[in-house]
Structure 1
């Protein structure tokens, strides 16, 4: 796994935090993914972590981003958007993702349930959680950083890979996660936590 700005957590810390924000830990047989967003929020860099659990049993951890990249933050208006979508952190979404395709090109986990999010339109270098809170399905999927099913790359800069998606930058880890989740063909719970 690539080094990130997020500190290390124990399983108990993460699962207790999910419950503290109103989430529930599924029984074994259903996956729970936890995204931990870096307090530092380094601009346009994959500096967050994803943890995958089978019920309360740890499966794997990898790096990625839970924030929009530079393309979304700086040029959202070229896509007729009101601002870059920014997930509200400390949010649990039951059945958030389900196996599907991202842009009809890549095996992914597609948004399956509504999420709460903001629109950041100030074009600075931060993914701001301010202003009106929205809720809906905006196709904020969970995917990797290559459309090549055999890719083993590990990217460092987000660029256009995330407009609101939760993106794994380590493709070997991503392929492993997708293989596991697609085999079950069930919705996956997701908790997005701010580093604590």
Structure 2
């Protein structure tokens, strides 16, 4: 039998995202963020393309993004509830990391695998933040899918898009456990 890392397995079996609206100060500083970002960058990456990058959003940047979300939501004709949700995602945050997927066409690597890798970076970043003792949550939202927002707020290139915003901070309340998938219902065993 292989040697088991029981502490890591126990963490993964009990990990729980923390709702972004429950995260408060303090947030990790740059020194505390570097091992978290380093862990996230160890994500599987077919072809070693590094099809993602990080944008660390500190409070002044988040406030600016809230303003862009307000104007973009109005320009898109979204209702007030949708706009406010987009604004609050940034205005109520103290630190977030935008994970940017970079589309790098490669004849050996299907485009979908680039997207999978960017999603894996988001989960790795989330887990690294939680394992470091911080509260963390992975969000997207309408703004992350709006090209105008991505260009105006984050100056993304045409070959870039948001895979997610990872909010990190100090949790003020531990969330209750939620129902988990029924493994019997979602698992098929093939032996031949």
Q: Which structure features the higher share of helix residues? A: 2
Of structures 1 and 2, the one with the larger relative CO (CA 8 A, separation 6+) is 2
User: What TM-score does the superposition give when structure 2 sets the normalisation length?
Assistant: 0.29
Q: Which structure features the higher share of strand residues? A: 1
